[in-house]
């Protein structure tokens, strides 16, 4: 028997364990979210103008009163949220064969909260600040993608 195969309960050679596609998407998307929010937290803390190019007004958004909650950068809260989703995604991936529903429901809950908060922040960008941060849009898309994947995980159980 090769190293890439295992035996099933009856002792026959079984196919190697495949990583579930949707299960791997949560950790990958969470890492992307951690990069985006980590970058925004870094530029916020050090007072550096974010790289935004001609695509938006990231500095207006990232230096506004809405960019902090009690002195804590919103981007840092996003980083912690994405790190939590990474951990939950890895738990789900590690225990996928045991149908780890608690992790899946937690991923759903965290990502739903993230989408709702991100939607509120996007509303602030559009209607109050009248400025768009492409990094914030990237984060909003990322958390929305995690929410969609979480629903698929709950429905498909994979």
When pLDDT is cut at 50, 70 and 90, the band that residue 98 belongs to is low
When pLDDT is cut at 50, 70 and 90, the band that residue 11 belongs to is low
> Which pLDDT score is estimated for 99?
59
* The two structure tokens encoding residue 126: 């559009």
User: What confidence tens digit (pLDDT) does each residue in 100-133 have?
Assistant: 788 899 999 999 999 999 999 999 999 999 999 9
CB distance 117 to 156 below 8 Å? no
Which of 67-76's residues contact partners 24+ apart within 8 Å by CB, and which partners?
A: 68/44, 73/40, 73/41, 73/44, 73/45, 74/121, 75/37, 75/38, 75/39, 75/40, 75/41, 75/44, 76/37, 76/41, 76/44
Distance CA 105, CA 112 (A): 10
Higher pLDDT: 141 or 154? It is: 141
Whether the model pTM is above 0.95: no
CB distance 97 to 105 below 8 Å? no
> Which pLDDT score is estimated for 22?
73
> Which pLDDT score is estimated for 112?
98
Domain 21-156 annotated CATH 3.40.50.300: no
> Which pLDDT score is estimated for 1?
45
User: What confidence tens digit (pLDDT) does each residue in 18-76 have?
Assistant: 556 777 999 999 999 999 999 999 999 998 889 987 878 998 999 899 999 999 999 99
Higher pLDDT: 98 or 57? It is: 57
Query: Element (H or E) spanning 13, and its range?
Result: strand 13-14
Nearest Cα neighbor of 23 from 79, 98, 75, 80 is: 98
> Which pLDDT score is estimated for 8?
52
Question: What residues have CB less than 8 Å from 111, skipping those under 6 apart?
Answer: 85, 143, 146, 147, 150
When pLDDT is cut at 50, 70 and 90, the band that residue 94 belongs to is confident
Residue 97 pLDDT exceeds 90: no
Query: Element (H or E) spanning 73, and its range?
Result: strand 72-73
């Amino acid at each position: 028997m090769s190293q890439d195969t295992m035996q099933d309960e009856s002792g026959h050679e079984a196919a190697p364990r495949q990583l579930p596609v949707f299960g791997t998407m949560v950790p990958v998307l969470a890492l992307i979210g951690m990069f985006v929010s980590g970058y925004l937290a870094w530029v916020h803390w050090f007072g550096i103008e974010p790289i935004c190019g001609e695509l938006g007004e990231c500095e207006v958004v990232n230096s506004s009163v809405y960019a902090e909650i009690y002195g804590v950068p919103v981007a840092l809260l996003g980083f912690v949220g994405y790190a939590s989703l990474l951990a939950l995604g890895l738990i789900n991936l590690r225990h996928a064969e045991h149908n780890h529903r608690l992790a899946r429901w937690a991923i759903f809950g965290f990502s739903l909260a993230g989408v709702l908060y991100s939607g509120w922040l996007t509303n602030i960008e559009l209607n109050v600040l009248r400025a768009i941060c492409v990094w914030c849009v990237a984060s909003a898309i990322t958390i929305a993608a995690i929410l969609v994947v979480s629903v698929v995980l709950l429905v498909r159980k994979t």
